[in-house]
A and B are shown apart, each in its own frame.
Chain A
């Protein structure tokens, strides 16, 4: 346990304290106490910057389950530190914002901050774990805390629906990922990511490699809302806005990105990785931005925008995988894609966080998030408007904001893929820049919608619940800080180059970094008239044109059949699964005991018959048989007669007596088979049993009257004959397959010598195997007590009915 571990666990410890603050100090908003922690953590993690600058790492470890090789290794390198700073930094701002957003009187603040701190700790654990099992543990903890946060207003039906949906999808992905982790650990015989990376080339040829790759990507794609798993993210917008800003734009959805980046050194040599990550990413980027335009809810726009931007980062990570195949090149152009991914990751966290906060302010001050009701807020909320403009223009990729730089780098990465001559890219490579370009146009359109539909146009006071006014200062601090960062990183991108981006990129492609060297990261605004710049100009030109004519072509969306969506697929498949399992269970669990007995016996016949048949166990050995005497034949005839009487008797009394006859015949068999004790016991017990039968049923008057013969059923006959045949065959075969001698000779030799008795059966019962007898006595005692209880205890009887006996 080190200070680093303490830092990871501190949110959990803080979460324990939160309810005490909440109950004990009601006059102060609980958020103020919580705020201290992320700020402290942020400054603590800033302290690691000098180490990671030169690609150095910090590692602290302690044993968790040493017998299984599971250590909790906390590991700080460029990538982990970048995420840790995002989590704690934006975490602080979100906590600050939530203090003003959530009312002290109306909300259950202790729940909120406990969940939020759980999430923060879990997220820190994900990004700072070197051990895959601890990573998985924290990963699921983020799913759970996200579930709790989405359903924070649990009395709303939509919140519960969204929470359940995100839970089902992310846990599905999480479990797939666990499968992938286990496969990886089987291949590499370790849970440590760095040890796995060091044997990346051996793992590559392993037969399980592809399965591990796909399973892990399933986990990353569901968490990061990639196509087709993005559907949970728009529904997660039911959460309070600070949660949306924190989890569903800046941190949790980037856990999948983190996973892909972290495991790139293991998987990126595979062409599958390049294709799946790159293609899914670019399609998600296009699809998300395309769908964002038709949203009318501000948070809906931002949700689809997040999906789209995550797809953008994902596609860049896919393109970065190409870098590994060209390490011979002096100037590896594909590394640029990795750098762009890291840069956009930071940018997206800044501008998307601020935009969500803007939506929260608008919602808070007007009472709605519907862009059809909003408009003309510019004069009421100038500061909010400025922040929205900065964030949205950065999102659209306009200069001088940071989004412009990363969008340019994105285009560079995508264009370079066209030149790529591996992975059969010659034919399909063109699709990457084309989809990227179209996606960017839609990004531009919805960014403009976000700003201008809200803040400009006609003010519609009759549609608003409240009179809009500027937000309180406290609520504005966080978005202002983020917006300042957007501008700052836009104007001076190289502030980040060597402090954050270079170490993070180096962690994604470690094999390309010579020891002691640094990747060259230099981000410039103006690099001449390149294709990228022309593309950006095209995006802006076409985007403005399309935005101005929006009302004309927005009807296009109605052309798509509204029912053919992934949401419908999710809902119907969930419904079908529920209905299907209900129908299935209802069909075979019909409540009739006969049906269940039929299942049991059919499987009995099937399994035993099949096994005997396939194993060739059927055998008749006539050499070792006892002779058949006259008495036996007579007894056999009596027993058969008894059986048939039972089966065909009309009266129950006859069957009971016939059962007694069979029992006495059995005791006669025991006589013939030289078993005096058995014969005695059998006689007595059969007598008592028959008496009990008669007592129970003969004295029930109603039952006596409507007596009838047992109905004949062919199915029952076949099953019972089948069971009888299997038993008979098994008996014959096992008698014919004697493996070794009985241990009877020991009892014969020692019954008198050791136990001083001459009746071997009795000596076995009370001496050699006395324990059996003890518990058999217990069985009888329990049965007796049970019978007593059944007859005496009549608790369920209501109204004091008279007992029948």
Chain B
């Protein structure tokens, strides 16, 4: 399962990088969304999969899955949400001000030489 997950994570990363290299601002943000999914899955995969019960003591199981990666991912999800939301609004405002979402057209003015 871990190897399969690694390949899926690789696929998520590859597609997110491909999107980030595109010109459209929206696609870049979609790319960051995919990238954070990949990263979250990577953390939980590296913690080991399906070895025991959910990390709730009420289960009274013999073994539980590792709770620490889950706590880390929870933090990461919230942070990436905050960042994504800010990015989205930033892109929205950029579109409003500049009238484009093409990154190439958003290049800064050439320095005078």
Interface residues of A (CB under 8 A from B): 582, 591-594, 597-598, 601, 620, 622, 624-628, 632, 636, 639-640, 643, 646-647, 652, 655-656, 659, 662-663, 666, 669-670, 672-678, 681-682, 685, 688-689, 692-693, 696-697, 700, 702-703, 710-711, 713, 716-717, 719-721, 723-725, 727-729, 731-732, 734-735, 742-744, 747-748, 751-752, 757-761, 764-765, 769, 772-773, 776, 779-780, 782-784, 786-787, 790-791, 796, 804
Against A, the Cβ 8 Å flags (1 = close, 0 = not) of B12-40 are: 11111111111110110110011001101
With contact pairs A628-B1, A647-B18, A748-B64 given, residues A742 and B50 touching in the complex (Cβ less than 8 Å): no
Q: How far is the CB of A536 from chain B (nearest CB, A)?
A: 59
Interface residues of B (CB under 8 A from A): 1-24, 26-27, 29-30, 33-34, 37-38, 40-42, 44-58, 64-68, 70-71, 73-75, 77-79, 81-86, 88-93, 95-97, 99, 101, 103-104, 107-108, 110, 113
Which residue of A647, A676, A748 contacts B15 across the interface (Cβ within 8 Å)?
Answer: A647
Which residue of A626, A627, A757, A780 contacts B82 across the interface (Cβ within 8 Å)?
Answer: A780
Which residue of B53, B83, B103 contacts A783 across the interface (Cβ within 8 Å)?
Answer: B83
Q: Are B18 and A717 in touch, CB under 8 angstroms?
A: yes
Q: Are A727 and B85 in touch, CB under 8 angstroms?
A: no
Q: Give the chain B neighbours of A757 by CB distance below 8 A.
A: 57
Q: Are A731 and B6 in touch, CB under 8 angstroms?
A: yes
Q: Are A759 and B55 in touch, CB under 8 angstroms?
A: yes
Q: How far is the CB of B22 from chain A (nearest CB, A)?
A: 5
Q: Which residue of B lies closest to A765 (CB)?
A: B71
Q: Which residue of A lies closest to B53 (CB)?
A: A674
Q: Give the chain A neighbours of B99 by CB distance below 8 A.
A: 702
Which residue of A625, A639, A760 contacts B1 across the interface (Cβ within 8 Å)?
Answer: A625
Q: Are A689 and B11 in touch, CB under 8 angstroms?
A: no
The list of the 8 closest CB pairs from A to B, nearest first, reads A724-B14, A728-B10, A783-B82, A720-B17, A760-B67, A731-B6, A720-B18, A760-B55
Which residue of B16, B73, B84, B97 contacts A689 across the interface (Cβ within 8 Å)?
Answer: B84
Q: Are A689 and B81 in touch, CB under 8 angstroms?
A: yes
A-B contact count (CB 8 A): 272
Q: Which residue of A lies closest to B59 (CB)?
A: A758
What are 12 inter-chain pairs, A to B, with CB distance below 8 A?
A: A597-B20, A632-B1, A639-B8, A655-B30, A674-B54, A675-B70, A676-B56, A689-B85, A725-B14, A731-B46, A732-B2, A791-B89
Q: Are B14 and A721 in touch, CB under 8 angstroms?
A: yes
Q: Are B17 and A742 in touch, CB under 8 angstroms?
A: no
Q: How far is the CB of A707 from chain B (nearest CB, A)?
A: 10
Q: How far is the CB of B40 from chain A (nearest CB, A)?
A: 7
Q: Are B65 and A601 in touch, CB under 8 angstroms?
A: no
CA–CA, A742 to B9, complex, Å?
A: 22
Which residue of A625, A646, A787, A796 contacts B3 across the interface (Cβ within 8 Å)?
Answer: A625
Which residue of A685, A731, A759 contacts B81 across the interface (Cβ within 8 Å)?
Answer: A685
Q: Are B95 and A659 in touch, CB under 8 angstroms?
A: no
Q: Which residue of B lies closest to A656 (CB)?
A: B30
Q: Which residue of B lies closest to A585 (CB)?
A: B111
Q: Are A659 and B92 in touch, CB under 8 angstroms?
A: no
With contact pairs A764-B68, A787-B89 given, residues A626 and B77 touching in the complex (Cβ less than 8 Å): no
CA–CA, A773 to B77, complex, Å?
A: 12
CA–CA, A688 to B96, complex, Å?
A: 22
Q: Are B88 and A681 in touch, CB under 8 angstroms?
A: no
Q: Are B77 and A594 in touch, CB under 8 angstroms?
A: no
CA–CA, A772 to B72, complex, Å?
A: 9
CA–CA, A761 to B71, complex, Å?
A: 5
Which residue of A662, A713, A772, A786 contacts B37 across the interface (Cβ within 8 Å)?
Answer: A662
Q: Give the chain B neighbours of A669 by CB distance below 8 A.
A: 41, 44
With contact pairs A761-B74, A779-B78 given, residues A646 and B15 touching in the complex (Cβ less than 8 Å): yes
CA–CA, A507 to B23, complex, Å?
A: 72
Q: Are A728 and B6 in touch, CB under 8 angstroms?
A: yes
CA–CA, A380 to B35, complex, Å?
A: 89
With contact pairs A594-B21, A760-B55, A761-B74 given, residues A724 and B11 touching in the complex (Cβ less than 8 Å): yes
Q: Which residue of B lies closest to A786 (CB)?
A: B86
Q: Give the chain B neighbours of A672 by CB distance below 8 A.
A: 50
Q: Are A643 and B12 in touch, CB under 8 angstroms?
A: yes
Q: Are B57 and A760 in touch, CB under 8 angstroms?
A: yes
Q: Are A685 and B78 in touch, CB under 8 angstroms?
A: yes
Q: Give the chain A neighbours of B96 by CB distance below 8 A.
A: 804
Which residue of A636, A659, A674, A744 contacts B33 across the interface (Cβ within 8 Å)?
Answer: A659
Q: Are B77 and A742 in touch, CB under 8 angstroms?
A: no
CA–CA, A783 to B44, complex, Å?
A: 26
Q: Give the chain A neighbours of B34 by CB distance below 8 A.
A: 643, 646, 659, 662
Q: Are A725 and B10 in touch, CB under 8 angstroms?
A: yes
Which residue of A592, A655, A666, A693 contacts B104 across the interface (Cβ within 8 Å)?
Answer: A592
With contact pairs A724-B14, A725-B10 given, residues A743 and B68 touching in the complex (Cβ less than 8 Å): yes
CA–CA, A200 to B14, complex, Å?
A: 63
Q: Give the chain A neighbours of B97 by CB distance below 8 A.
A: 796
Q: Are B70 and A761 in touch, CB under 8 angstroms?
A: yes
Q: Give the chain A neighbours of B26 by CB distance below 8 A.
A: 652, 655, 693, 697
Q: Give the chain A neighbours of B67 by CB distance below 8 A.
A: 744, 747-748, 751, 760-761, 764
Q: How far is the CB of A613 from chain B (nearest CB, A)?
A: 17
Q: How far is the CB of A526 from chain B (nearest CB, A)?
A: 69
Q: Are A731 and B10 in touch, CB under 8 angstroms?
A: yes
CA–CA, A796 to B81, complex, Å?
A: 28
Which residue of B40, B46, B53, B95 contacts A703 across the interface (Cβ within 8 Å)?
Answer: B95
CA–CA, A748 to B66, complex, Å?
A: 9
CA–CA, A659 to B7, complex, Å?
A: 19
Q: Give the chain B neighbours of A783 by CB distance below 8 A.
A: 82-83, 85-86
Q: How far is the CB of A787 from chain B (nearest CB, A)?
A: 5
With contact pairs A673-B50, A790-B90 given, residues A659 and B30 touching in the complex (Cβ less than 8 Å): yes
Q: Give the chain A neighbours of B113 by CB distance below 8 A.
A: 582
Q: Are A643 and B54 in touch, CB under 8 angstroms?
A: no
Q: Are A779 and B57 in touch, CB under 8 angstroms?
A: no
Q: Are B65 and A787 in touch, CB under 8 angstroms?
A: no
With contact pairs A643-B15, A646-B19, A742-B68 given, residues A696 and B44 touching in the complex (Cβ less than 8 Å): no
CA–CA, A689 to B94, complex, Å?
A: 19
CA–CA, A728 to B2, complex, Å?
A: 10
Q: Are A666 and B71 in touch, CB under 8 angstroms?
A: no
Q: Are B8 and A636 in touch, CB under 8 angstroms?
A: yes
Q: Give the chain B neighbours of A791 by CB distance below 8 A.
A: 89, 93
Q: Are A735 and B89 in touch, CB under 8 angstroms?
A: no
Q: Which residue of A lies closest to B82 (CB)?
A: A783
Q: Are B9 and A727 in touch, CB under 8 angstroms?
A: yes
CA–CA, A780 to B81, complex, Å?
A: 8
CA–CA, A696 to B91, complex, Å?
A: 8
Q: Which residue of B lies closest to A601 (CB)?
A: B17
Q: Give the chain B neighbours of A628 by CB distance below 8 A.
A: 1, 4
CA–CA, A728 to B12, complex, Å?
A: 10
With contact pairs A727-B13, A748-B64 given, residues A674 and B50 touching in the complex (Cβ less than 8 Å): yes
Which residue of B21, B37, B44, B88 contacts A693 across the interface (Cβ within 8 Å)?
Answer: B88
CA–CA, A628 to B2, complex, Å?
A: 9
Which residue of B66, B74, B110 contacts A744 across the interface (Cβ within 8 Å)?
Answer: B66
Q: Are B66 and A627 in touch, CB under 8 angstroms?
A: no
Q: Are B71 and A713 in touch, CB under 8 angstroms?
A: no
CA–CA, A693 to B30, complex, Å?
A: 9
Q: Give the chain A neighbours of B104 by CB distance below 8 A.
A: 592, 594
Scoring A597, A724, A743 by chain B CB atoms within 10 A of each residue's CB, the highest score goes to A724
